[in-house]
Structure 1
């Protein structure tokens, strides 16, 4: 009996040590069993599920990583919308890197059905941008700008992607399309954002022209003057900013 009690005590001490290690934020789980215990303890924490996916991807175990994502989507409480979205984005990243255009499309379709469509599409657009997939990004921009034509943030995000991918002419054509679809009250903000992106990735002279065109029509817009001065200072044109 004494021997059994001692073995039970040792097992309890071992389990307690394991729990303490898993609670240590500076320690990365070292095995699938570690991750299983971690997600069991915090089932709604998308960070842990995504780390579990990355653990399998590091070993090129693509199917296991997919299985973890699917399990996460089934396990995370339905009220935890942002946590679920994080996992969907991780799964889209996985398919973009290791899957096919068909598998990306299927996951994207499911993600759109289960989440805010605009959020999902813009996340996918960022994924294409980060992976330098210009054709895919261009096609998706065509879709989102048609589907969400009254949303200024969609046009700004689309222009950001075009500029980052070096598709300068497409960006410049996009501005007029944006103005044609957006409420007139949104024009100043959109032109200002496009000008800032032009300054950062395109032509400083064109950016300056855009800003001055706004100020001719709206000379009392202090916010635009401030953005213009800030843009000039960041580009090193201090004399002009003065």
Structure 2
């Protein structure tokens, strides 16, 4: 209902409904917080969206914090300040470096909205982590796709070489 009101330029009514929803479900549902944030970011009120994230983190259980910050970072990256979104991702990944779902979201957004060099740097960092082949395989695939579209033969060969080196290091470990 709030989204419909916002589409019809009845922002005061939409604000009131979103406030009631976040007040009523503040400790249970992260989805309500995210819907409210999407509304604020899409209407150009990024500062209010950032304040909403702080309120959401105070109300929701800690188990939902990483996913919530990641979603807010995505909103910030796409609709707000890209640098602030990048900082949110970097802060989460500094604390939880093995959260591949956060890395995947960060890489996808970087591929879509950032410069190629910046995306290469993010992919290089994630592929240097001590993760299993099953977790790293999608990142090498994304990196190869990136180099196929935006790189040259030399950069593509370097990525393939790094992937092969990783596989041979795993083989060496398994042979021991």
Residue equivalent to 1:137? 85
Give the structure with higher Rg (CA): 1
Could you say if the C-alpha distance between residues 204 and 56 of structure 1 is closer, same or farther in structure 2, counting changes exceeding 3 Å?
A: farther
Aligned equivalents of 1:137, 1:197: Cα separation in 2:
24
Provide, for residues 90-143 of structure 1, a one-character-per-residue CA deviation record: whole Å limited to 9, x for no partner: 111122122534312110112233151111122123323443743332232332
Pairing 1:185–2:132 present: yes
Give 1:108's match in structure 2, choosing from 29, 47, 53: 53
Alignment partner of 1:119: what SS? Answer: helix
- Provide the TM-score with structure 1 as the length reference: 0.55
Aligned equivalents of 1:77, 1:101: Cα separation in 2:
20
Alignment partner of 1:60: what SS? Answer: coil
- Provide the TM-score with structure 2 as the length reference: 0.72
Kept after mapping to 1: 8 A contact 2:120/2:143: no
Higher relative contact order (CA 8 A, sep 6+): 2
* Runs of at least 5 residues in structure 1 that lack an aligned partner in the other structure: 1-51, 222-242
Give how far 1:68 is off: 0.9
Provide, for residues 148-206 of structure 1, a one-character-per-residue CA deviation record: whole Å limited to 9, x for no partner: 223222222212111110321111122333345x3343673364244255257633744
Pairing 1:92–2:41 present: no
Aligned equivalents of 2:78, 2:7: Cα separation in 1:
20
Aligned equivalents of 1:218, 1:93: Cα separation in 2:
41
Residue equivalent to 1:210? 159
Cα RMSD of the aligned pairs, angstroms, is 3.1
How many aligned positions are there?
Answer: 164
Kept after mapping to 2: 8 A contact 1:191/1:210: no
